Amino acid sequence: MKKIINDPKHVVDESVAGFGLAHADLVRVETDPIHVVRADAPVAGKVGLVSGGGSGHEPLHAGFVGPGMLDAAVPGAVFTSPTPDPILAATKAVDGGKGVLHIVKNYTGDVLNFETAADLAAADGIEVRAVVTNDDVAVKDSLYTAGRRGVGGTVLVEKIAGAAAERGDTLDQVAEIAERVNDNVRSMGMALTPCIVPHAGEPSFTLAEDEVEIGIGIHGEPGRERIKLEPADAIVDRLISPIIEDLPYSSGDRVLLFVNGMGGTPQIELYIAYRRAAEVLAEQGIRIERSLVGNYITSLEMQGFSITILKLDDEMVELWDAPVHTAALRWGR
């Protein structure tokens, strides 16, 4: 195993410390318990947004802390949910008097620990709502979930809900737009290679040189099928067809197309995938109004990509375009 680390036990602590030093204008890092908070938090009169989950998916979630997006992120150990204590600390840190929204990916540990933290926050007088993202169409249940997994759509929920909170929406209104995004977004991913969790020291699964996994999860969970390597266009077709059929999306829909790298995939390959996805959508009369391409929700060094499609309405477009200033997303300010 070759990794640029020191002690595997300290990977998350040292990485988060470095993140805080690199982006001190945007965030402050609290270490006991560990969480990352927007530098000016709490913002009085604004709904606070907190998300989090296992580390190894960077820039999710700390990379999305800042004006126009999240107010705090809670990193767990690699591929492991954070415990309730740091989630509670983050919730308290961003409470500006208008309540706090938890954005939670649908993994059993995340859901349970965020629920516990929300109950503890409520006992302290903080109103908390939660939105659970579950946009992965690949499988209904997996090693980590009951129901569908939360994957790339989480980034879009965080951006659009973050903009709603920034403009002064109430907790109910921010939760409603977050739910609306989740209801209208679908994703599916694939892997060319596994990744190696630092403390494990070995690949999370095995693939032959000529094999790929279709429908992989962001923790290396199995997908729908294992196939022989195909050209990029054929792989995109395998991912995008189930996505389109699931909502379903139809001619005349306006969408945001998000092609996401899993950590080890170069941009040149992501744009090849985007090109084919755009062709398929055009053939079906589905209009791309916004796009995002890059590594935004990753699986360490896994090679592969995911496709996410969000059916847009006017309000979502307005909120997507609204200013954001985080380590990983920034425009309009």
pLDDT digits (tens, 9 = 90+) for 198-214: 988 888 888 999 999 99
Q: What is the DSSP letter of 61?
A: T
CA dihedral sign of residues 245, 314, 65, 94: negative
A 10 A CB-CB count for 95 gives 25
pTM for the full model? 0.97
Token pair for 32? 């006991």
**Strand partners of residue 51:** 73, 103
Instruction: Give the phi and the psi of residue 101 in degrees, each rounded to 5.
Output: -105, 125
3-class SS letters over 174-222: HHHHHHHHHHCEEEEEEECCCCECCCCCCECCCCCCCEEEECCCCCCCC
Query: Cα–Cα–Cα angle for 263, 264, 269, nearest 5°?
Result: 105
Q: What is the pLDDT of residues 30-63, one digit of tens each?
A: 999 999 999 999 999 999 999 999 999 999 999 9
- Asked, as a colleague might, if the bond just before 86 is cis with ω within 30 of 0, I would say no
Alpha-carbon distance 291 to 86, whole Å? Answer: 33
Element (DSSP H or E) covering residue 59: none
Q: Residue 1 has what pLDDT? A: 77
Q: How far is CA 320 from each of CA 95, 119, 137, 150, 316, rounded to the nearest angstrom?
A: 24, 31, 23, 19, 6
**Under 8 Å between Cβ of 74 and 116:** no
Q: Active-site residue numbers?
A: 57, 219
Per-residue pLDDT of the chain (333 residues; tens, 9 = 90+): 799 999 999 999 999 999 999 999 999 999 999 999 999 999 999 999 999 999 999 999 999 999 999 999 999 999 999 999 999 999 999 999 999 999 999 999 999 999 999 999 999 999 999 999 999 999 877 666 678 999 999 999 999 999 999 999 999 999 999 999 999 999 999 999 999 999 888 888 889 999 999 999 998 887 889 999 999 999 999 999 999 999 999 999 999 999 999 999 999 999 999 999 999 999 999 999 999 999 999 999 999 999 999 999 999 999 999 999 999 999 998
